[in-house]
Copies of this chain bind each other. A is one copy, B any other.
Amino acid sequence: MFRKERIFTPGPVEIPDSIREVLSRQIVHHRTTEFKTTFLETRELFKQLIDCTSDNFVFFSSSGTGAMEAAVLNFFEEGDKVIAVVGGKFGERWSELARKWKLQVVELTLEWGKSVDPERIKKLLKENADCKGVLIQACESSTGAFHNIKAVGEITSSYDVLLVVDAITALGVYNIKPHSWNIDVLIGGSQKAFMLPPGLSMLWFSEKAQKTLTDRAYYFSVKEELKKQKEGQTAWTPAIQLILAFKEALSLLLTKGIDKVEKEYRLISTAMNKAVKALGLSVFPENPSISLSAVLPPAGLNADEIRREMLNLGVRTAGGQGKLKGKIFRISHMGMNIMDMVIALSALEVALWRLGYLRELGKGVRSYLENAYQNQ
């Protein structure tokens, strides 16, 4: 038959049909009542998603890195000291960005794959009384590790610091409530659990963060965007198609309910982890994010060999990044439902069998089905 490719990468992820339909529509002008109404409705849905009543958030026409840069530029001044949690490629990006904009960076480095012990953050905050912020990922997608943001927030909330969370690979997966989690700046991106093409990012901030708002940015100015976006407009021409599609994405998530969404991703993650172990492989991160499965190949096999075989079977996965190149492979759960994952897992089994590692097929899938359906 003809070839079909299914995308199981942790961003971009498969775009649902209803979103593709929105993307294909004729353009609407952004300086119209029609767009304004949709934009404000989209903002209301976003508030529902993160359980907030405040209007302190903006959308940028950029990829997620742009919103990370915005966080550094808008909430910190030159010379401000920040702690950057570096346990993967995206932690490194925080550190790089902060240095680029002349902050003083205290790196809290972790072995890649580990999650941060919140007590280490407490210790650093005690040692650095002049610290202004903690920069961290919710999900460090390069390693698949989840940092316990809620526990970190309990610590940072009693210091005069801002907790800045890159939740690009976590928003829309976890039921993240920035208020009750004590998050000060929260960042998201379109091409992850929102299932849109890349090009739209989100930045939410707390009242505490509002007090430190600077005038350092131009394109990424939170002040300028906020002034306009509260009224349903934007400072610069917005990514119109992505805003309209974001509304559809938020509707999809909220119709199901973000609690149920998280529950299903958790179920997928648990069942995937067990299935991977049933095949004799190990899950790479210590505390896996439910957004994706980052897996170590069995001894003697290169992760990229496995990925190539899976791709031959129509399943696109991601490899390791930076120092993990060739060392792990990553299968995204984002935008996928319980049944979808059977395809990724089947391709993994067949790939491992073709590479001579497995003698029989079906063990992983059986484990997955049992844990995803039977043991509920």
User: A25 contacts which chain B residues (CB < 8 A)?
Assistant: 20
The proximity string for A residues 22-55 relative to B, scoring 1 for CB distances below 8 Å and 0 otherwise, is: 0111111111100000000000000000000000
| CB–CB A62/B242 < 8 A | no
| A66 to B199 CA separation, bound complex (whole angstroms) | 13
| CB–CB A197/B240 < 8 A | yes
Say if the beta carbon of A340 comes within 8 Å of chain B: no
Mark out the residues of chain A between 83 and 108 whose CB falls within 8 Å of any chain B CB in the assembled complex: 96-97, 100-101
Min CB–CB distance A260 → chain B (angstroms): 25
Given A198-B237, A239-B198: A219 and B29 interface contact (C-beta under 8 Å): no
Min CB–CB distance A198 → chain B (angstroms): 4
Say if the beta carbon of A175 comes within 8 Å of chain B: no
Contact of A65 (CB < 8 Å), options: B12, B198, B237? B237
Q: How many copies does the complex hold?
A: 2
Say if the beta carbon of A77 comes within 8 Å of chain B: no
| A7 to B35 CA separation, bound complex (whole angstroms) | 14
| CB–CB B63/A198 < 8 A | no
| A239 to B143 CA separation, bound complex (whole angstroms) | 24
Min CB–CB distance A8 → chain B (angstroms): 10
Given A11-B237, A198-B239: A26 and B20 interface contact (C-beta under 8 Å): yes
Contact of A27 (CB < 8 Å), options: B12, B21, B65, B200? B12
Say if the beta carbon of A238 comes within 8 Å of chain B: yes
| A29 to B12 CA separation, bound complex (whole angstroms) | 6
User: A199 contacts which chain B residues (CB < 8 A)?
Assistant: 61, 199-200, 239, 241-242
Say if the beta carbon of A291 comes within 8 Å of chain B: no
| CB–CB B26/A63 < 8 A | no
| A143 to B61 CA separation, bound complex (whole angstroms) | 25
Contact of A24 (CB < 8 Å), options: B23, B32, B220, B242? B23
| A242 to B61 CA separation, bound complex (whole angstroms) | 12
Interface SS, A side: loop
Contact of A61 (CB < 8 Å), options: B24, B66, B96, B101? B66
The proximity string for A residues 239-258 relative to B, scoring 1 for CB distances below 8 Å and 0 otherwise, is: 11110000000000000000
| A11 to B240 CA separation, bound complex (whole angstroms) | 11
User: A289 contacts which chain B residues (CB < 8 A)?
Assistant: none
- Shortest Cβ distance from A96 into B: residue: B218
Given A197-B240, A236-B65: A23 and B23 interface contact (C-beta under 8 Å): yes
Say if the beta carbon of A262 comes within 8 Å of chain B: no
| CB–CB A12/B240 < 8 A | yes
Say if the beta carbon of A264 comes within 8 Å of chain B: no
| CB–CB B26/A15 < 8 A | yes
| CB–CB A61/B64 < 8 A | no
Say if the beta carbon of A74 comes within 8 Å of chain B: no
Say if the beta carbon of A147 comes within 8 Å of chain B: no
Interface centre among A26, A101, A220, A242 (most CB of B within 10 A): A26
User: A183 contacts which chain B residues (CB < 8 A)?
Assistant: none
Given contacts A23-B23, A61-B62, 20 further A-B contacts (CB under 8 A): A7-B29, A11-B237, A12-B30, A12-B240, A14-B27, A15-B26, A20-B25, A21-B24, A32-B316, A62-B66, A63-B236, A64-B236, A69-B219, A96-B218, A97-B218, A100-B218, A101-B218, A198-B240, A199-B200, A239-B239
Mind listing 23 A-B residue pairs with CB under 8 Å? A7-B26, A7-B27, A7-B28, A12-B29, A12-B240, A21-B24, A23-B23, A27-B191, A27-B197, A30-B198, A61-B63, A63-B236, A64-B236, A64-B237, A65-B218, A65-B219, A65-B237, A66-B219, A191-B240, A199-B241, A199-B242, A219-B220, A239-B239
